[in-house]
Amino acid sequence: GAVTAHGPREALLASGSELADRLLGAAAAASLDDLPEASRSPAEAAAALAKAAEGASAAGAKASATPPGGVSRLTTAERRQTGSFSSGIYTTYLRALGTASVWSYFALLVLTYSTFLLADLWLVRWWIGDAGPAAGLPTASRAGVYSGLCLGFIALIIGSSIFFTVISVRASAAMHRSTLRRVIYAPLGWYDSTPSGRVLSRFTSDLNTVDIKLSMDVDNLMHMFFQAATMVGLIASTTWVLAVVAAGVFAVFCFATLVADRSIREVRRIANNAVSPIMSNIAEIKVGTPLVRAMRLGSFFAARQSAAIG
């Protein structure tokens, strides 16, 4: 390979490059080897590793302060997007649901709340005794029609929720496969620069949100929207002033949703970043359990885990 850096050892250590991090790791290993067998206690080993970690952290902090295109770092900074969620996230989820499934779900919702509207109109005509479809029918027949419409609405609302549950499970499976495929086929440099805890945090918390909360929230949102639109349309057909009030309330609701969306996004990111070092430490212990036991470094990893937790 080509020579990427040259110079005295002190200058290379002060450069804050990737080579400096490797030299610090080698120095930590050498400091452990220099200790006599009788004096190489777990506390001394942990102290030597902690000193090496402080040196690596200082080098990493110095490297992070360099401008883009300067000295490379072993761990890349997380690419983050501030503000609300982009529309591409929802587009990806709708694409995973499938075009035919989405339109079928919308048609089922229209049929569901059309039945709800017919039941209300039938009750109004029955109550005011208008010469409409209910005129001339006995009370038992009127009650039977109304009961049938109500039972049909209940069956349709349950059926639409079950249908969306089925297609959302299929969408979650498709998104799981796509995410796993991207991680498996990622370049080796991505694995070297991305902490394992960050990947585990995404696969546990974020995908769990997609599997459970996203599908449930979307289904509830659609049912609430169609129900509100049906009721507002029915009221506005008799009093147009309420339609203006409903439009204002809807604008306020959209603004509050946008503000809450941005706040929830940042809180979720803070939580993921807090969990990442904990998951990384657990992954390192699991992979290097024989080495940790042989070098008696359990106290070091326990102290690091305690520091990450709180």
Q: What is 148-200 written as a DSSP string?
A: HHHHHHHHHHHHHHHHHHHHHHHHHHHHHHHHHHHHHTS-HHHHHHS-HHHHH
Taking 60 as the threshold, does the pLDDT of residue 37 lie above it?
A: no
Q: Which residue has the higher pLDDT, 65 or 218?
A: 218
Task: Name the pLDDT band for 40 (thresholds 50, 70, 90).
Answer: very low
> Sign of torsion, CA 230 233 235 238?
negative
Model pLDDT, residue 2: 54
Pair 30, 55: CB distance under 8 Å? no
Model pLDDT, residue 45: 47
- Per cent of the chain over pLDDT 70 is 68
Model pLDDT, residue 105: 94
Task: Name the pLDDT band for 24 (thresholds 50, 70, 90).
Answer: low
Q: Which residue has the higher pLDDT, 130 or 231?
A: 231
Of 6-20, 40-54, 194-208, 274-288, minimum mean pLDDT range: 40-54
Model pLDDT, residue 151: 94
Residues 6+ apart with CB under 8 A from 119: 146, 149, 150, 153
Model pLDDT, residue 106: 93
| pLDDT single digits (tens) 243-284 | 788 888 888 988 888 888 777 777 777 777 777 778 777 877
Residue of 210, 214, 196, 205 lying closest to 267 (CA atoms): 205
Task: Name the pLDDT band for 21 (thresholds 50, 70, 90).
Answer: low
| pLDDT single digits (tens) 61-105 | 444 444 444 444 555 555 555 555 566 777 888 888 888 999 999
Tell me how far apart the alpha carbons of residues 86 and 140 are, in angstroms, rounded to a whole number.
54
Task: Name the pLDDT band for 130 (thresholds 50, 70, 90).
Answer: low
Model pLDDT, residue 308: 80
Taking 80 as the threshold, does the pLDDT of residue 43 lie above it?
A: no
Q: Which residue has the higher pLDDT, 141 or 20?
A: 141
Task: Name the pLDDT band for 115 (thresholds 50, 70, 90).
Answer: very high
Model pLDDT, residue 298: 84
Model pLDDT, residue 38: 43
Model pLDDT, residue 100: 92
In this prediction the pTM is: 0.55
Per-residue tokens: 116? 């709800």
Residue of 232, 239, 227, 219 lying closest to 115 (CA atoms): 227
Task: Name the pLDDT band for 31 (thresholds 50, 70, 90).
Answer: very low
Burial class (CB within 10 angstroms; exposed 0-12, middle 13-18, buried 19+) of 164: buried
Tell me how far apart the alpha carbons of residues 45 and 28 are, in angstroms, rounded to a whole number.
9
Tell me how far apart the alpha carbons of residues 12 and 185 are, in angstroms, rounded to a whole number.
34
Model pLDDT, residue 247: 82
- Reported for 66-73, long-range contacts at CB under 8 A and 24+ positions apart, including other chains, are 66/16, 71/15, 71/16, 71/17, 71/18, 72/17, 72/18, 73/18, 73/193
Per-residue tokens: 31? 């400091």
